[in-house]
Structure 1
Amino acid sequence: MASEGSEEIVKLIQKVDQAGQSHILHYLGELDREKKETLLEEIKSVDFGLVSELYKTHHVEGVKQAEEIIIEPYPNILDISTLSKQHLKNLHKDGLKLIAEGKVAVLMFAGGQATRLGVSYPKGMYDIGLLSHKSLFQIYSERLISLQTLASESLSSPAPPIPWLIMTNQESLLLIQSYFRSNAYFGLDQSQLFFFPQEMLPAIDFDGKILLSQKNKLSLSPNGNGGVYESLEKSGGLLWLENKRIKFLHICGVDNALLKICDPKFIGYAEDQDVDVVSKVVAKKSYNEACGVLAMKNSKLCVVEYSELSEEMAKSVDEEGKLRYFGGNILNHIMKVSFIRRIVSNHLSELRSKYHVARKKVPHIENGQVVTPNVPNALKFELFYFDVLELAESSAALCCDRDSEFSPVKNASGPDSPESARTLINNLHLKWVEKAGGILPQGIPDGIVCEISPLVSYDGENLKFLENKKISLPFYLYY
């Protein structure tokens, strides 16, 4: 009698044959037991129906005649600088109340590697060079701890830990979990963290055949941050949020060093507006700044990529001379958990039609050897998280101050680099000291001379003790 394991292998081989992908088993007989298991486990994870559908849609049939697309400016962006101090205070109070009541969680996209920064590990583990030499993950962790303290103080009772979901890629999941564990979760409760990986998709050649990266490995890559909704459901993360009765989920990226994680004013505004999605944007520096913008596409909320706007549209201004398409997307949104449930329950099949295809140069096994192509030889597919925004029945947006809320860490040097992030944090913290009444020396020296730990202050509060104190630089304030 065949063993249960061998029966499973036979069924898997049949499945591969039926999908027309039997070539991926070509080297099976050469593999030792461990490598054979690796290959079979990867094959089990493949949705062959989806792969076939994507190939047919994006390569065989080509680009179909699209419906007419009408792009218009997003009409509902509120500039936070126009709000009165009392209005801001009320939003802050309302947001802290929701946090204290356990209604708020955060989801961070953390699958990106820091290769452009010259290291091979996940970007969240990167030290951007502050006086403290804290990594991005530590900075965000301490901001959450500080926020939990503020929420507790607002109601004079202990606030529950803020749930933090971290989406990684398959390769970095264990490394990131180990990193948090070895650092005692940076003071957070282990129970408030939920790590889960993105789904993976194989690269295929122009004949629709799945590529092997090694004799026992498929050429797999993450399916884009838009796979988050399905991954959230499959991992149990969505149910985890629902069981905690979370109302608002703050969705953000790992590489914004100035990120106000679960910003109370942002949360308060989401509660005030009572919509499916609230977005934070920054005003574009110029019409040709290469960033997506919040807009309307055929009367539905969307992020329009820079390349989708004609120069005429990008340059267009309103009666006050302000860019009509000015709200730069910074991957900073609040979604109702009920909206995400609606996506998962009713619209996952629709997302399959929204995959984006890219032609890439993908090394692969050919005749037993690794071949590195000089020209694109494969198709890769991915979803973007904002592809679901059109499903929102209601939305709103806040335009925030770029210099205090947005400092992406993407490049090794120049704009959007660790250096630019350090400079912005340094300048922001110097302003906090001045606002609190601290006396700074004449002529601030160049370089990074000021840092205030998030454990001391989340957003410039709790610094009254600096009033009339002479500050010597460099100045690092910490607990």
Structure 2
Amino acid sequence: MAIINSNSTCLINIYDDTGKLTDLGTEYYKVGNTALSQNKFGVVILSGGQGTRLGCSGPKGLFKICDKSLFEHHIDKIKKLKYSQNVRLFIMTSDHTDEDVVSYFKSNNNFNLDVVFFKQNSLPCTYKDGSVIKIEDHKVLTAPNGNGDFFKSISKFDLSDLYAINVISVDNVLAEILNPEFVGAFIKSKVDCLSKSVTKLPDENVGIFIKNSGKLEIKEYSEIDKDQEEACEGNICNHLFKTEFVKMMGLKDLPIHKACKNIPNDIRKAIDRPNETKCLKSELFIFDCFAFTDKNKIFSVPRWKEFAPLKNGMKSEKDNPETCAQAYRKKYNKEY
């Protein structure tokens, strides 16, 4: 197992220490700009998750940072693209978020964009002993089955007019979408997938890129030795996929990962074992697609430009609404 760092051949870094493009970056920018003019790129915003850790019951994408919802921040980025009127936008929702998300976009006239909504699937939640959790009327408690369901869920659409799709997570307020240098690096590298990364901070809870038996993988930070974890490249869930690869992955079965989660208090009152506080959720991870290709690389980006995730409420010191707002103001030099 090899840790991916600045010396790794599979890592592309085209920014200098100030965040400006190098000569290679400028070349990639031109290539990407030309490619974007051909109107063959799509965007998927992954927004099936709920905002329970934020202390809100609605979808994460509706949470406001600096007076705009996370969705609005991403829509603004798309509209600033030179060819935004021709970008196909897909929003992946879930049983838990679909109604609120669709209603929100409808009330805003879809922000004058062509938006397609699709739902990821759900899987049963279980207790630690494997028993399915039951709620009122003997219904089974379910949860969204992870961002890896993107491949199968989007495969019902005709994507033949698209060359590639940029997939982002809704909770990163600084996510850049189809920036030309990223698209150019993707094209020049001739890859199926190009994934953005940032240099990991000490004790930061992000997945880490590694290479194992010649294949890129992502490992949890807890699986890496302390003396190795610094200067690693961390996953920020911003991927550019060739559409042919997406179609192929729609026919594959990704492994199921079990995640131990807290059962929200309002749900605990309704389940068949109200004294239980934990449950197991079954999730598919989008990066498990790496096992199905040898043609993928990592694209390192400046943290201040592209990564400020909203993961927690204000009780946490990290990745909370205020840290996101601070990062946003720093990037755009705005005061709120």
Q: What pairs up with 1:61-460 in 2 under 5 angstroms?
A: 71-74=1-4, 75=8, 76-82=10-16, 85-128=22-65, 130=66, 133-147=67-81, 150-151=82-83, 160-188=85-113, 192-204=114-126, 210-233=132-155, 236-237=156-157, 239=158, 241-242=159-160, 245-286=161-202, 288-314=203-229, 323=231, 326-345=232-251, 347-348=252-253, 351=254, 354-358=255-259, 370-374=272-276, 376=278, 379-413=280-314, 414-430=317-333, 449=335
Identity %: 30
Paired residue type of 1:390: A
| Partners of 2:14 and 2:22 within 8 A in 1 | no
1:152-174 Cα distance to aligned partner (Å, 9 max, x none): xxxxxxx7521111111112112
Q: In 2 relative to 1, CA 206–112 (structure 1 residues): closer, same or farther, beyond 3 Å?
A: closer
Q: In 2 relative to 1, CA 206–167 (structure 1 residues): closer, same or farther, beyond 3 Å?
A: same
Instruction: Give structure 1 stretches of 5+ with no counterpart.
Output: 1-70, 152-158, 316-322, 431-447, 451-479
Q: In 2 relative to 1, CA 84–138 (structure 1 residues): closer, same or farther, beyond 3 Å?
A: closer
1:188-212 Cα distance to aligned partner (Å, 9 max, x none): 2xxx211111111113457765432
Query: Aligned-pair distance for 1:107?
Result: 1.2
**What is the TM-score when the length of structure 2 is the normalising length?**
0.87
Paired residue type of 1:328: G
| Partners of 1:214 and 1:364 within 8 A in 2 | no
C-alpha distance in 1 between matches for 2:129 and 2:319: 39
**What is the TM-score when the length of structure 1 is the normalising length?**
0.63
C-alpha distance in 1 between matches for 2:325 and 2:85: 31
| Partners of 2:91 and 2:115 within 8 A in 1 | yes
Instruction: Determine which structure has the larger helix proportion and give its number.
Output: 1
1:8-42 Cα distance to aligned partner (Å, 9 max, x none): xxxxxxxxxxxxxxxxxxxxxxxxxxxxxxxxxxx
Q: In 2 relative to 1, CA 177–277 (structure 1 residues): closer, same or farther, beyond 3 Å?
A: same
Q: In 2 relative to 1, CA 333–231 (structure 1 residues): closer, same or farther, beyond 3 Å?
A: same
C-alpha distance in 1 between matches for 2:71 and 2:261: 31
Instruction: Tell me the SS of whatever aligns to 1:415.
Output: coil
C-alpha distance in 1 between matches for 2:194 and 2:170: 19
**What is the total number of aligned residue pairs between the two structures?**
324
Q: In 2 relative to 1, CA 203–123 (structure 1 residues): closer, same or farther, beyond 3 Å?
A: closer
Query: Aligned-pair distance for 1:85?
Result: 4.5
1:290-310 Cα distance to aligned partner (Å, 9 max, x none): 221111122211111112212
| Partners of 2:174 and 2:328 within 8 A in 1 | yes
1:276-329 Cα distance to aligned partner (Å, 9 max, x none): 11111111123x3322111112221111111221234336xxxxxxx3xx1111
Instruction: Tell me the SS of whatever aligns to 1:142.
Output: helix
Query: Aligned-pair distance for 1:361?
Result: 6.7
Instruction: Tell me the SS of whatever aligns to 1:423.
Output: helix
C-alpha distance in 2 between matches for 1:295 and 1:111: 27
Provide the alpha-carbon RMSD of the alignment. Answer: 2.5
Q: In 2 relative to 1, CA 285–203 (structure 1 residues): closer, same or farther, beyond 3 Å?
A: closer
Query: Aligned-pair distance for 1:360?
Result: 5.8
Instruction: Give structure 2 stretches of 5+ with no counterpart.
Output: none
Query: Aligned-pair distance for 1:96?
Result: 2.4
C-alpha distance in 2 between matches for 1:428 and 1:359: 35
C-alpha distance in 1 between matches for 2:78 and 2:86: 9
Q: In 2 relative to 1, CA 117–400 (structure 1 residues): closer, same or farther, beyond 3 Å?
A: same
Residue in 2 that maps onto 1:434: none
Q: In 2 relative to 1, CA 380–92 (structure 1 residues): closer, same or farther, beyond 3 Å?
A: same
Largest Rg, 1 or 2: 1
Instruction: Determine which structure has the larger strand proportion and give its number.
Output: 2
Q: In 2 relative to 1, CA 161–380 (structure 1 residues): closer, same or farther, beyond 3 Å?
A: same
1:445-467 Cα distance to aligned partner (Å, 9 max, x none): xxx627xxxxxxxxxxxxxxxxx
Q: In 2 relative to 1, CA 391–426 (structure 1 residues): closer, same or farther, beyond 3 Å?
A: same
Query: Aligned-pair distance for 1:90?
Result: 2.9
